[in-house]
Amino acid sequence: MTTSDTGEIAQFDSVGLRYGTDREVLSDVSFTLFRGCFYFLTGASGAGKTSLLKLLYLSQRPSRGNIRLFGADAITLPRDRLPGFRRRVGVVFQDFRLVPHLSAFDNVALPLRIAGVAEADVTQAVGDMLDWVGLADRMHARPATLSGGEQQRVAIARAVIGRPDLLVADEPTGNVDPEMAVKLLRLFEALNRLGTTVVVATHDVHLLQKVPDCLIMRLDKGRLGDPTGALRFPPRRPGQQP
């Protein structure tokens, strides 16, 4: 489709972002995301992790610079093509953004229903997914009645249910115990092995050590350090598609 043959999912070139007339929260950010790679995005609170991810999942346009996503220019992408791109990106929002009046089940089912998947398939897939994240018995609960960790797992389930080409997760394990964090990380890895490019923003350094072949992007006050050049020219992983 629109994914370029060279395996580049996304390319940022000298991207800058400012909200309103404030100072830039991102400056000269350049990197390439390759298909099938697993990325961690780290940095202090306020460094601009969420802002960078917003650019990636097309919820924000940059103030300057160029962004290419799935081989297309994301800056000039016409409005009516946005949904098609967004359906290829799964997002775990830092603040979950579950629909408050929908049950856990319906929240997870939403991407599939938006995509027009038959209801029988939806029921099956969502049931399996909630089972996997340990929420089978809470599937009819509204988000308000779920704990923070449970809401987070619903948000993750919703992000991965459609098996996206790119998974963007903003602090996806901030509210769960270490055991569940590892389990969720396994879910991301499984998805990654299926070819999904994964970007996880996190403070949790222990998490980084759990994924052997991951690439690390470190943001410092809106600037992305890439001393080894791995973000532009990543080392090949065994068995990885070019």
Partner 1 sequence: MIGGWLKRLSGAEDGLGAAITGGRMRVLSGWARGAEDTAMPSRQVGPMPWVIAIMVAMSVVAAASGLAMRNIAQAARTDLAGGVTVQILEGRPELRARQAAAAAELLRQQPGVSNVHQVPQAEVDQLLAPWLGGDVADGVPVPALIDATLDGTPDAARLATLGRVLHGVAPAARIDAQSAWLGPVFGAIASAQWLAAALIVALAAALAAVVLLATRTALGNHAETITIVHMLGGTDPQVARIFQRLIGIDAALGALAGFAGGLLAIMLLGRRVADLEAGLLAGGMLGWADWLALALVPLFATVLAIVTARLSVLGALRRML
Ligand X SMILES: Nc1ncnc2c1ncn2[C@@H]1O[C@H](COP(=O)(O)OP(=O)(O)OP(=O)(O)O)[C@@H](O)[C@H]1O
Contact residues for ligand X (CB under 6 A)?
19, 25, 43, 45-51, 94
Provide the minimum distance between the beta carbon of 73 and Mg ion in the complex, in angstroms, as a whole number: 26
Q: In the complex with ligand X, which residue's Cβ is closer, 197 or 202? A: 202
Contact in structure between 132 and 187 (CB atoms under 8 Å): yes
* Binding of partner 1 by 87 (CB under 8 A): yes
* Binding of Mg ion by 50 (CB under 5 A): yes
* Binding of partner 1 by 86 (CB under 8 A): yes
Q: In the complex with ligand X, which residue's Cβ is closer, 110 or 176? A: 176
Distances (CA, A) of 72 to 62, 69, 81, 131, 135: 15, 5, 11, 36, 37
DSSP 237: P
Per CB under 8 A, contacts with partner 1 among 42-61 are 57-61
Compute CA 132 distance to the chain's CA centroid, rounded to the nearest angstrom. 19
| C-alpha closest to that of 42 among 177, 160, 166, 206 | 206
Q: In the complex with partner 1, which residue's Cβ is closer, 32 or 50? A: 50
Kindly state the tokens that stand for 131.
């089972």
Look at residue 125 and give the partner it binds from partner 1, ligand X, Mg ion, none, a contact being a CB closer than 5 to 8 Å depending on partner kind: partner 1
SS3 131: helix
DSSP 241: -
Footprint of partner 1 (CB under 8 A): 57-61, 79-80, 82-84, 86-87, 91, 93, 97-99, 101-102, 106, 109-122, 124-129, 131-132, 158, 161-163, 183, 186-187, 189-190, 193-194
